[in-house]
Amino acid sequence: MGEADTDDSRQPRPAHTTRRLELVRSRISLGCPYAWELGIATPEDKRRCRLCDEQNGHKLEHYLSGCECVNTLREKCNISNPTLPDLAKHFLNTLKETLSGHPIFCDIDK
């Protein structure tokens, strides 16, 4: 029998899925900047978007509002002309779907 992929802590699931989901959920909820955005020395390749490879695209605003790789998910937002907070709420509500199709969305490990 497969493991359930839910937010219910009583349901079994792989530990990496839970950690990854919570990490991305926290980053979006808090609007956490990445290390390079804080002026911490970071190699150029670590500043690139993990999905579309845009230079200096590895930042929350890009993932939520600019990355072409998640356009179809972004278009599912029910608000016309959504603001960044609207998009953050949208991606929080669709985070499992987003991560299942784009496992390195907002990634910090790679």
pLDDT in tens, 55-90: 988 899 999 999 999 999 999 999 999 999 999 999
Q: Token digits for 54?
A: 């845009």
Give the global pTM.
Answer: 0.72
pLDDT for res 104? 86
Percent of the chain with pLDDT over 90: 35
Read off the pLDDT band of 31 (50, 70, 90). Answer: confident
Q: Where are the domains positioned within the chain?
A: 64-110
CA-nearest of 41, 68, 64 to 53 is: 68
pLDDT for res 34? 79
For 32-63, letters b (16+ CB in 10 Å) and e give: eebebeeeeeeeeeebebbbeebeebbbbebb
Which of 29 and 94 is assigned the larger pLDDT?
94
CA-nearest of 77, 76, 58 to 67 is: 58
pLDDT for res 109? 58
